[in-house]
Homo-oligomer: A and B are copies of this chain.
Amino acid sequence: MSPRKSSQEELSKAIILDVARDLFASNGYASLSMRKIANVLQCSHGAIYYHFKNKAEIFYEIVEHDFEKLDQELHDVMSDRTTTSDEKLFLLLYRYIKFGLTNQNHYEVMFLIRDEDVKSYLQEGPNKSLQLFGEAISSLVAKPITSKEIYSIFLSLHGFVTHFCRAETNFEDIKDLSKSHAQFLIKALH
């Protein structure tokens, strides 16, 4: 009919991302198709490919953006003057788990999906998290920390989140377990 929309209803990266972000939160990567997004946007799925190279690009942009909240949160923990180093250390681990489990679909794209297209966008993201983490932890523990220990801490948290992501467990349901996991890991550091 009309191969181009009136300027009022023209698409844009931002509009697509808004809709996709919304649907993504409840659907996840695999079961949210380009056509479903197009449907909500009231456009054809082909149009989306004018704004994004492929499906992976859309979702990576969403995830990358939303992961800044995690950075922010960890940063907040570190710059709080009312908490001790020990408390900070605990909160760092605890908040990481909390973030992962309250943004399970995000976590999946960032750390779990094995799709090659998705992975091609992930050079920076996960490493950045790891580095931030490492620096923070090092600064909180008196004893010198090796990079292997940093890895261990990070991957141990990762395993916790991954497992309960798959089980689709609410964070609220495993708050206690999260706390004890964080404490368990801290014990290994000392």
**Which A residues are within 8 Å of any B CB, using their own CB?**
28, 30, 108, 111-112, 114-115, 119, 146, 148-149, 151-152, 155-163, 165-166, 177, 180-181, 184-185, 187-188
Q: How far is the CA of A157 from the CA of B181 in the complex (A)?
A: 13
Are the C-beta atoms of B114 and A30 separated by less than 8 Å? Answer: yes
Q: What number of copies of this chain does the assembly contain? A: 2
Can you name 23 A-B residue pairings with CB atoms under 8 Å?
Answer: A28-B114, A30-B114, A111-B163, A112-B114, A112-B162, A112-B166, A114-B166, A119-B166, A146-B180, A149-B180, A152-B160, A152-B180, A152-B181, A155-B156, A155-B160, A155-B163, A158-B162, A158-B163, A159-B161, A184-B188, A185-B188, A187-B187, A188-B188
